[in-house]
Structure 1
């Protein structure tokens, strides 16, 4: 069965990657994980509302991951949803002096790893997750997202 990635744009698409880019990044991060993925690109208000409702933090964030858990005994081929805040991603790319496309790729990879069960609640988990993100970014031709750019 093909693995589908659905992209929803809740903001104007200017400066935001096309669905083909999102699909490529999702597919790179799957590494055997199956199921469809929905990516919703949102503004700061929607991101803040979701971050507040699900994480108790009343501010917009770059990416939120919602792993799917279907009802017991009912097979559903859905891995989960990612909600990515376009203004936050753009601001973070600018502030870090990084290419915007690479920042988008990183947020998709990061979110996908959460859908696959990775986390960064402690130093050991964070190191493992960051190492995998860095390797995936390199496979896609992007620089290490955790190094500081050199002038």
Structure 2
């Protein structure tokens, strides 16, 4: 499966799990650590790279297609994390794509209850894709 197919499959499943088949658009950018570190600093005030950032689009009432926003993924960070956690790159990329899309759909993990809800959705979507639970500490070297 190509990287584009992995991204499309993960995003489609994440969106479909929440909104069904309603038409929607989003952009997914795969970038390097330097670029995502710049975005992380500019938008979140945090130094250094992160694995995924989500930028929700403004609502456009009456639009035929929902514009969700942008998901930006750092290929280098994701690769390092996958290696350190004993995960396949494609599986970790899928998980973080799903995570980013859920943020675009309004989910967050600021509180424990929000984190529990978001993680449960991620687990269900990943299971549907045949991908192991990324939060199973017994299965992987570290939790993601």
TM-score by length of structure 1 reads 0.82
Cα separation, 2, equivalents of 1:115 and 1:39: 12
Gaps of 5+ in 2: none
1:65 aligns with 2:54: yes
- Across the aligned residues of Structure 1 and Structure 2, the Cα RMSD in angstroms comes to 2.0
> 1:17 & 1:84 partners in 2: Cα distance?
16
Alignment of 1:83-94 (within 5 A): 83-94=72-83
Match of 2:37 among 48, 52, 55: 48
Shift of 1:54: 0.5
For residues 63-93 of structure 1, give each alpha carbon's deviation from its aligned partner in whole angstroms, at most 9, with x where no partner exists: 00001005x6674741110000000000000
- The answer to whether residue 9 in structure 2 is matched with residue 20 in structure 1 is no
CA contact (8 A) 1:17 1:101 kept: no
Give unpaired runs (5+ residues) of structure 1.
Answer: 1-15
2:85 is matched with 96
The answer to whether the aligner puts 1:29 opposite 2:18 as a matched pair is: no
The answer as to whether partners of 1:119 and 1:125 remain within 8 angstroms in 2 is: yes
Higher helix share: 2
Distance 2:90 2:7 in 1: 10
User: CA–CA distance in 2 between the matches of 1:150 and 1:125?
Assistant: 23
Distance in 1, matches of 2:92 and 2:140, equals 17
Change (3 A) 1:60 1:35: same
Paired residues for 1:108-147 under 5 Å: 108-147=97-136
Larger RCO: Structure 1 or Structure 2 (Cα < 8 Å, ≥ 6 residues apart)? 2
